Amino acid sequence: MSKLYFKYGAMGSSKTAQALMCKFNYEQKGFKVFLLKPIVDNRTIKDGKALVSSRIGLTSECIEFDRNENFHDLCEKLDIIHEKNVIIVDECQFLTKEQVNELKDISLKIPILCYGLLTNYKTELFEGSKRLVEIADSIMEIKSICRCGRKATVNARLVDGKIVTTGDEIAIGGDEQYESMCYSCYIKKLNEQK
């Protein structure tokens, strides 16, 4: 039975690596996998082709989409809705509410696995993540740790080594701009900055 899956974690929790391993597993079993990522995540392009790339070096070509993409139209254009086809979405926090609704409809026919962040650097739910929490058939946390050893739950945005709590919701970056922390360390560092 097909379902809509949401697998989330803080930055650096291996979400993308797990998405790519899941893709490999499905392909080993004879499924065709359509790997998607939002065009706003422009960090990895090679030879003009968009890639999904993990911190541990796993990569795969993917199909990019923007906030105006209609997934029903995309599935029709790429002839995706067939038995033994699967959609995997990386960086799903950047989906719109409507796109998540479309994926839910499509998941009645084929499995859809979404990987991404739950909250932004302000500790607020992303639009796509919020809707996935509301309607996904399966929700799983991918755990990672803070420097102190506790579970990381906050994606702190850093500028010159200091946590910032204002600005645009989306600023694409990696370890140079973000650090995953437990809430206790996050509050402690914020208080130290005052």
From 61, 76, 91, 169, the catalytic residue: 91
Distances 85 to 22, 78, 139 between C-alpha atoms, Å: 13, 11, 21
In the annotation, is 27 catalytic?
Answer: no
Structure tokens belonging to residue 2: 């097909």
How many Å apart are CA 1 and CA 44, to the nearest integer?
A: 33
DSSP 127-187: HHHHHHHHH-SEEEE---B-TTSSBP-EEEEEETTEEE--S-S-----TTTEEEE-HHHHH
Structure tokens belonging to residue 32: 């065709």
How many Å apart are CA 194 and CA 15, to the nearest integer?
A: 33
Structure tokens belonging to residue 98: 């409507």
164: which strand partners? Answer: 157
Amino acid, res. 17: A
Known catalytic residues are 91
